[in-house]
Structures are given as C-alpha cells and as structure tokens.
Structure 1
Amino acid sequence: MINDNRWGILYCPKHEMLGSPKRRWEKIEACLKSNGVEYDFVQSESSAGVDRLIKMMINNGYRTIVVVGGDSALNDAVNCLMQADRNDRERVALGVIPNGLMNDFAHFWGLREDDYDQIIKWLKDRRVRKIDLGCIRYANKHGEACRRYFLNCINIGLVATIMNLRRQTRHYSGSRTLSFIMSFILMIFQRLEYRMHVKINNDDLNRSIMTMCVGNATGYGQTPNAVPYNGLLDVSVVYHPGMTQLLEGIYLFVRGKFLNHKSVHPYRTRKVEVLEARKALVGIDGRLMRTPSGPFTITVEQEVINFLIPE
C-alpha cells in the first residue's frame, strides 16, 4: 500500500520548448528533494501513455497525483480520472506543475512556469478545491456515443484552427503573445466563417459564425470571466466582423479585453446544443479533436475533481 503522503508524479516533457527536458526535470527534482517530498516518478510522451499511467497510479492507491505538463496532459489526466470509480476518484487530489506550451489552466490559479519551488510548497500544503468539468457528448463517425471532458474550453470554428497554428508558431517564436499574433496573421489564409445552428438558453442561433468558445475557465482569453467552480459555462459567440473590426478584435484579445468587442456576444449557461457546425474544426483544451459527426451537446458537471490550488 502506498504511503498517503507519497506523490505519484507524471512528467510529460515538451521537446519543442526551449531548453532541455532533462534539465527541466533536474530542476524540479531538486525542488522536490529540498522540500522533503516523497514521490514516485514516471514519464510519458503520448496521450495514450498518460491514460495508462494515471490509471496505474489510481489503482496503486496514490492520493496525490501531480502532472508536470500542459493543458493537453491535464485534459488526458482528468478524462482518465472520470473513467475511474467515483469512490476511487474521491480519494485522489490532482495537481499540476506547468510545463507545456499551453498552460492556461495553471495560469488561472496563478501557477507560472519555472516557479517550481513555490508551486511545490503550495502542492505540499494540500489545499484541495472541488472543481467543475465541461463535457462534450457527441457521436463519432461510426455512430457510437462518445464523451470528452475539459478543464478550460472548447473552441468551434476559426479559433480551433488558430490554436492549432499557435502550437506550431510557439515552437518558432518562443513567446505566448507573439505566437498568437503570428497565428492571427496566418488565419488570413483560413476559412473565416462557418454555418452553425446553436441553442444557448432561449436563443436559437442559425447563421454564419466566425468562432465560438465554451469555457469552463478563461478559455485562452475568450471567456475571461469564467470560473471552474460555479456550475456554469461561459460562452462567447463571434460573428464575422469587417477587416477594421477584426484588427480591433486582435488588439482587444491581446490586451485581455476580448468581450469589449462589438462582434462578441457573451452568454452564461449550463448547456449548449450544437445542431450544426458545418466544416468547423473543434478544439478541446487547446488540442484538435476529431470533429463530431452530427449534433453534439456541451454541459457542465459540478465539483467532480479534487484539484490542488495555491493559497
């Protein structure tokens, strides 16, 4: 039986980041030792690996599981936890040491890259908060019912494409803001609007939409007022603006004032029904997913994950 104080640590190295993954782990390891943390360490470089190793940690009785990785690795971890028996899941507290290209969920809690010592001190304090997860339910191309959980957001349309471009441009720019700007420039060559039919609260939207973000948290700046503990989802729907408005939107996005743009229509809800999203890509926590076949529904599940937060 695993000691209740012993952590299970899953390291998801990002080779496209600046610096050596080995040196990054050595810095984290030194901070763990200096803080007297007992832990077991495993490494994964794929989504399937994260799933297998998280299951192993749950089955072996770890009460604290810490992911050293980004939003995608966290997404894999919570989806694995949601597959576990509820009693087993209740015994586990999930923590994160940000290490990926996209760490917006960690940033929501004030956790910053390279601040390893402070983060480990916070994790060691074991301040647990029950958090919400968003959930998309859809049918795959074989007609099978599927679901996928998310911590941060789902993007439908242009921004799903931009998030994919951002992953590529971040490799070359090394800067969060610069990668977004480069992605927005590249989007000139992308499709700019999609025919969608969406139901949100009492509104029935059946028209061309540029992009839509359904956020359980800040949604990479598109749902800046969303919090993962109120049982609600924030939604931003963006209609196709003119070129001048588009440039203004980029400026407001970078400044963190996205909702101030006249083409952005915000909602707060428990459920979003997408009856049609013709040819629109779908991104979940910054990673492209296979576009659902036909209609899909996005809901929120309240207080289902124990998450370790800072003071």
Structure 2
Amino acid sequence: MAEVERWGILYCPKKGLGRHRQHWMRIQQELDSRGVLYDMVQSEAADSVERLMTMLIRNGYKTIIIVGGDSALNDAVNCLMREDEEVRNRISLGVIPNGLLNDFARFWGFTEREDAQSVEWLLKQRVRKVDLGCITFKDEEGHDTCLYFLNCVNMGLIADIMNLRRQARQMLGSVKLAFLSSLVVMIFHRHDYKMRIDINSEIIDRKVMTVCVGNALGYGQTPNAVPYSGMLDVSVVYNSSVKQLLNGLWLLVTGRLLNHRSVHPYRARKLNVDEAKKIRIGIDGRLWESPAESFSIHVLPEKINFLIPD
C-alpha cells in the first residue's frame, strides 16, 4: 500500500461515560498496525472542537478525521466553512464514529463497533463531494448569519426528545435505556407548536408536532434523503392520537415513518420558517441555544470533501 499523507485526528471523547479512553486505544491500535501517520489532538469540551479544527487546518493537514459523533462533525464543518474555498477544496473530512449520535456516519455504513473497517475504508481515500444544509437568519445585531448542518434540523418534539435522550445516555450510560426513556416521554409529553412554513409555494400555517429538514437520514425522519442530491427532504408531523403516535414510533424504528398518515413529506431546495415561537430546535443533534423566530433553510450542493466507503 502506498504511503498515505499524515492525518490530523481530532478525538472527541464521549461526555459522562466511563472507559471512553479504551475506544481510542482500540482505534490507535488499528492505525498503528496499518502504519498510518497521524497527529492526534483531543477536545476537552464542545467549544474546543472548532479551536482544534482551526489549528489542524492552519497546520496544513489535508486529511482530517473526526473521532466523534454528529455534533462534533457539525462543529468541524462550520469551522471549515469559514475558510476560503481554496482551503476547503484541498481538505478531506472523515469520521470514525464515537458519539452519542452517529447518524451521518451510519448513513455511509460507518459504525462504532467496526473500527478496523472504518480505518480500512478511510485509508482508501475515496472522496465524495457532499451537500450541506444552511440555516440563514439575522442575529441580535441584525447581521445575516449562517449555520451549517450535515444531517438534519429538528424543530419541536423530536428536538425535545433528542435532548432528553442525550442527557439520559450521559446519566444512564446505555443507548437502549436512553431510547426507552425517550419513548415514554414522547407519549406522555406531547406538545403542539404554532409554526408558519413556506415550502414549494405552499404555506403551512398551523400547529405541528415536529418538523425535520434532512440532508441525510434525519434520525429516521427523512429516510430517503441523501447528501448528494442537491435537495432537502422535509417531514412535517401533525398532532395525532396516542394510538397513532405508537404506530408512528414503530414506523420510525423500522424506517417507514413516511407511511404514517400524520406525516407530510416534501422535497425542496429551500424553505422559509416565518414563525417558530417557543420551539426547541436541534441542529445535527445539538440544541440551537438562541434560535431565531424566523429563518430560512436551503441546500448548498457539493460543498465538503468527505471520505466514504468503497
């Protein structure tokens, strides 16, 4: 095998879980056994990912691997998008799953328990240009601002549940227990949110339960979305009875959510959210701390070089 140029690796430990170092040791063993040249930096907190990503970019690494989940990838992408196009074009971004949520990695077939397979795929340096979603809004000072996402934007109940699931996973240390607790809350803590959305010249002006805008899987809510089509998939879910909700949960788990009668799917390049008061919004699994009440979401085709499997 030809020598691969030295990688910059950004390792993002899971928060609140023990034995996280063991996973890095297994990854390190796989890298060393294949003779991979790399330099590793470790994040101490979420706000350090962008600082370390910037350091790797400025030090000239052309392959940057994120050992983390959707939120860490999101931080890396938002950092990369602040660079000039010339800089972005010479950098390839890869992932080894190590997060509480690994949906974008799972879309490509990367799984947390298959580190050897992940390293083998990354070594082949197969690059694909992938789309990004972009949220544009005005900040408190009235300036136009952009936030980018690889996987999805969730608005409403699912953002609430994903936030709870993340907290439960940190406390319980179990994906299954966190998922079950989230389901219980979803049943007994249902809310409707008043929203006004303009999509494909159709105005949705009513209360909704949840909305997902997916560039990829969207945690099962946009199962047909692919991050290379130049389009976004949108699922709008209206309120339903407990029986219908339970049926919807089953369809979500089995990847058939779009078959539910309360789910209204769309495909668009852009949508405008003209009203979203008091609604929780998640971007790639992390809460948007100060969401705007009105914003637009559109797709940016082929913006990031991403390392994919064979």
- Structure-2 separation of matches of 1:12 and 1:99: 7
Residue 299 of structure 1 aligns with an amino acid whose one-letter code is H
- Structure-1 separation of matches of 2:96 and 2:215: 20
Residue 20 of structure 2 aligns with an amino acid whose one-letter code is P
Residues 141 and 189 (structure 1), Cα distance of their counterparts in 2 relative to 1, 3 Å cut? farther
Shift of 1:247: 1.3
Q: Which residue of 2 aligns with 1:14?
A: 14
Deviates further, 268-277 or 142-151: 142-151
Residues 262 and 282 (structure 1), Cα distance of their counterparts in 2 relative to 1, 3 Å cut? same
Q: Does 1:38 align with 2:37?
A: yes
- Structure-1 separation of matches of 2:55 and 2:136: 26
Residue 8 of structure 2 aligns with an amino acid whose one-letter code is G
Shift of 1:188: 4.5
Q: Which residue of 2 aligns with 1:277?
A: 276
Structure 1 ranges of 4+ moved more than 6 A: none
The answer (yes or no) to whether the contact 2:187–2:245 under 8 Å persists in 1 is no
Q: Does 1:58 align with 2:57?
A: yes
Deviation string 1:117-145 (CA, Å, 9 cap, x unpaired) is 11111111100000000000112344333
The answer (yes or no) to whether the contact 2:194–2:275 under 8 Å persists in 1 is yes
Alignment of 1:229-268 (within 5 A): 229-268=228-267
Q: Does 1:295 align with 2:294?
A: yes
Residue 96 of structure 1 aligns with an amino acid whose one-letter code is V
Shift of 1:293: 2.7
The answer (yes or no) to whether the contact 1:139–1:294 under 8 Å persists in 2 is no
Q: Which residue of 1 aligns with 2:148?
A: 149
Unaligned residue ranges in structure 2 (runs of 5+): none
The DSSP-based 3-state class of the residue aligned with 1:302 is strand
Length, aligned pairs only: 308
Residues 84 and 106 (structure 1), Cα distance of their counterparts in 2 relative to 1, 3 Å cut? same
CA RMSD of aligned residues (A): 1.6
Alignment of 1:199-210 (within 5 A): 199-210=198-209
Deviation string 1:260-280 (CA, Å, 9 cap, x unpaired) is 110000000000100001211
Q: Which residue of 1 aligns with 2:117?
A: 118
- Structure-1 separation of matches of 2:48 and 2:171: 27
**TM-score relative to the length of structure 1:** 0.95
Q: Which residue of 1 aligns with 2:70?
A: 71
The answer (yes or no) to whether the contact 1:212–1:235 under 8 Å persists in 2 is yes
The DSSP-based 3-state class of the residue aligned with 1:267 is strand
Q: Which residue of 2 aligns with 1:5?
A: 5
Percent of pairs with identical residues: 57
Alignment of 1:179-190 (within 5 A): 179-188=178-187, 190=189
- Structure-2 separation of matches of 1:176 and 1:107: 15
Residue 13 of structure 2 aligns with an amino acid whose one-letter code is P
- Structure-2 separation of matches of 1:244 and 1:260: 15
Residues 84 and 4 (structure 1), Cα distance of their counterparts in 2 relative to 1, 3 Å cut? farther
Residue 272 of structure 2 aligns with an amino acid whose one-letter code is E
- Structure-1 separation of matches of 2:86 and 2:46: 24
- Structure-2 separation of matches of 1:266 and 1:58: 38
Residue 273 of structure 2 aligns with an amino acid whose one-letter code is V
- Structure-2 separation of matches of 1:149 and 1:46: 20
Q: Does 1:222 align with 2:218?
A: no
The DSSP-based 3-state class of the residue aligned with 1:13 is coil
Residues 273 and 81 (structure 1), Cα distance of their counterparts in 2 relative to 1, 3 Å cut? same
The DSSP-based 3-state class of the residue aligned with 1:56 is helix
Shift of 1:94: 0.3
The answer (yes or no) to whether the contact 1:9–1:65 under 8 Å persists in 2 is yes
Deviates further, 285-294 or 256-265: 285-294
Residue 179 of structure 1 aligns with an amino acid whose one-letter code is A
**TM-score relative to the length of structure 2:** 0.95
